[in-house]
């Protein structure tokens, strides 16, 4: 009973801290979780006029999300909110009206920042959006990652100082996911 998880990273940046966090986090998951990252840097800007003929890239991301049991959001904070590209993805996959692929997919939310608030405000905005889309989000533990010296090892794993915390987050996510997806097919 593999759980398929769609990973959504809110940064397209080559050396993204959030991509690095997502990659390291996935390494801490048990083998019964299978992750696939949603690639969405080719989505057009959302336009409601296109709802009846969504672009191939939009249909592709919708189908990838649809076929997942759960979601993992790892996002930067931009100007105290989520990046526009992430909102664009969320809007695309919520439409046309009545054909949202988000509803009921349990989600973990976390993010890394160079600032001490560690994406706290972006995560709160994201939770607000997801609540409307009927995506349950794990409430605790929260993970506001301040990406400072030593957070990662040289080879991109979580460093010793934070490993216990991040592993604890993953363990909790796995048991919380199981509660939400019991007996459900994506």
Residue ranges binding ligand FNR (CB under 6 A): 11, 13, 16-18, 76-80, 113-115, 117
Q: Measured from the CB of residue 110, what is the shortest distance to ligand FNR in angstroms?
A: 12
Q: What SS3 state is found at 146?
A: strand
Q: Measured from the CB of residue 24, what is the shortest distance to ligand FNR in angstroms?
A: 13
Q: Which is nearer to ligand FNR, 37 or 66 (CB)?
A: 37
Q: Which is nearer to ligand FNR, 125 or 180 (CB)?
A: 125
For residue 141, whether the previous peptide bond is cis, meaning omega lies within 30 degrees of 0, is: yes
> C-alpha distances in angstroms, 79 versus 4, 33, 64, 82, 109?
32, 33, 29, 8, 18
Q: Measured from the CB of residue 105, what is the shortest distance to ligand FNR in angstroms?
A: 23
Q: Which is nearer to ligand FNR, 117 or 179 (CB)?
A: 117
Q: Measured from the CB of residue 113, what is the shortest distance to ligand FNR in angstroms?
A: 4
Contact of 120 with 144, CB cutoff 8 Å:
yes
Based on C-alpha coordinates, what's the Rg of the chain?
Answer: 16
Q: Which is nearer to ligand FNR, 80 or 184 (CB)?
A: 80
Q: What SS3 state is found at 60?
A: helix
Q: Which two tokens stand for residue 16?
A: 């993204």
């Amino acid at each position: 009973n593999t759980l398929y998880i769609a990973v959504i990273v809110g940064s397209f940046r080559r050396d993204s801290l959030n991509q690095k966090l997502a990659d390291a986090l996935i390494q801490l998951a048990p083998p019964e979780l299978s992750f696939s990252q949603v690639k969405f840097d080719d989505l057009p800007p959302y336009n409601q006029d296109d709802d009846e003929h969504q672009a191939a890239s939009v249909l592709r991301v919708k189908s990838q999300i649809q076929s997942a049991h759960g979601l993992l959001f790892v996002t930067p904070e931009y100007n105290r909110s989520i990046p526009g590209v992430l909102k664009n993805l969320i809007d695309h996959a919520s439409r046309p009206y009545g054909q949202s692929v988000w509803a009921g997919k349990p989600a973990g939310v976390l993010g890394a920042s160079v600032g001490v608030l560690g994406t706290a405000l972006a995560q709160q905005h994201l939770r607000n959006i997801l609540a409307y889309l009927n995506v349950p989000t794990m409430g605790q533990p929260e993970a506001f990652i301040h990406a400072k010296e030593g957070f990662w090892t040289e080879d991109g794993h979580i460093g010793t100082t934070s490993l216990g915390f991040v592993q604890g987050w993953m363990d909790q996510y796995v048991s919380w996911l199981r509660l939400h997806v019991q007996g459900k097919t994506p």
